Structure 1
Amino acid sequence: MKTMKMIGTLVVVSLMFMVACDKDTDPADRDLFVGTYEGTITFNGGGETIIDDDGKVTVTKVGSSYSFIFGSGIPDITGVRFEEGDDNVYVSIGDGLTGIRITASSLDIGVTNDEGTWTADCSR
């Protein structure tokens, strides 16, 4: 009985390892970008300018779209979709939301739309 339990555990662990190492898994599907990035963030819009050299941007994902939750009183950017560029760099697509480049370790934002202008030079 003890041997069967041990074999069963080994099979489960082996299957988990094989699934985790699947080369066909798109990095964006594994939520690599979700988390907090830190660095310089700015916003200019509505008659105000906010600059934070020690700012934070938290990236969340619901379905296939991302949200960028800023600290420091900067308005959030929501509903962002991405397409894969070179070397696992993803770039934002869509009206008024272009100008975001993200990897597992860096976030660069240069978005301008009717609401204002956001910039970020962050890493984690």
Structure 2
Amino acid sequence: MNMKNNLFKNLGKVAIVLSVFFIISCGSDDDGDDVTADVFVTLPTETVSTYTGSLGYTPADGMGVVGVTDGTATITQSGSSYTISFSDGVPSITGLRFLGSDGAYASVSSDGSSLGISLDDGELAIGATIDGNTWAFSGDR
């Protein structure tokens, strides 16, 4: 039960991060310019790591549901984007790019999916819905 409470508490952090990015993105940037690669950052080497924590996944078809369980999430870099691979047969999330600095980083989506990934002080929190599949992860290095 404590693991579920911890997961929901950390998902709340992800919701706050998403809200902040939404508010910022709706600000006074109506100049018509596209977002350039300059706003995205390269993650520090120590954040490209494996995190251990609570993992939840529900596929769009509802088959093979992974409930809240102990699991891992591993961040890897390929060029200018990142992939998060999970344990327990949970599919990876690919093509991620991050915003941030000073130890706090977040990933946002530009393709209509709902995606909130927060890296802060060695903690990783993920709340994502992509093509009907839902991921939740909260853990640390």
Query: TM-score, normalised to structure 2's length?
Result: 0.61
SS in 1 for 2:97: strand
Match of 1:76 among 63, 84, 92: 92
Deviations 1:69-120 (A, max 9, x none): 00101011011001016x5211112222621111351110000121400000
2:76 maps to which residue?
60
Alpha-carbon offset, residue 28 of structure 1:
3.5
SS in 1 for 2:88: coil
1:103 maps to which residue?
120
In terms of fraction of residues, the more strand-rich structure is 1
With 42-51 and 90-99 compared, the bigger mean Cα shift is at 90-99
With 108-117 and 46-55 compared, the bigger mean Cα shift is at 46-55
Q: Which structure has the greater CA radius of gyration?
A: 1
SS in 1 for 2:46: coil
4+ aligned runs moved over 4 Å, structure 1: none
Aligned 8 A contact 1:107 1:122 in 2: yes
Alpha-carbon offset, residue 63 of structure 1:
1.5
Query: Identity, % of aligned pairs?
Result: 36
Alpha-carbon offset, residue 29 of structure 1:
4.8
What is the one-letter code of the residue matched to 1:58?
Answer: T
Query: TM-score, normalised to structure 1's length?
Result: 0.69
- The structure with higher relative contact order (CA 8 Å, sep 6+) is 2
What is the one-letter code of the residue matched to 1:123?
Answer: D
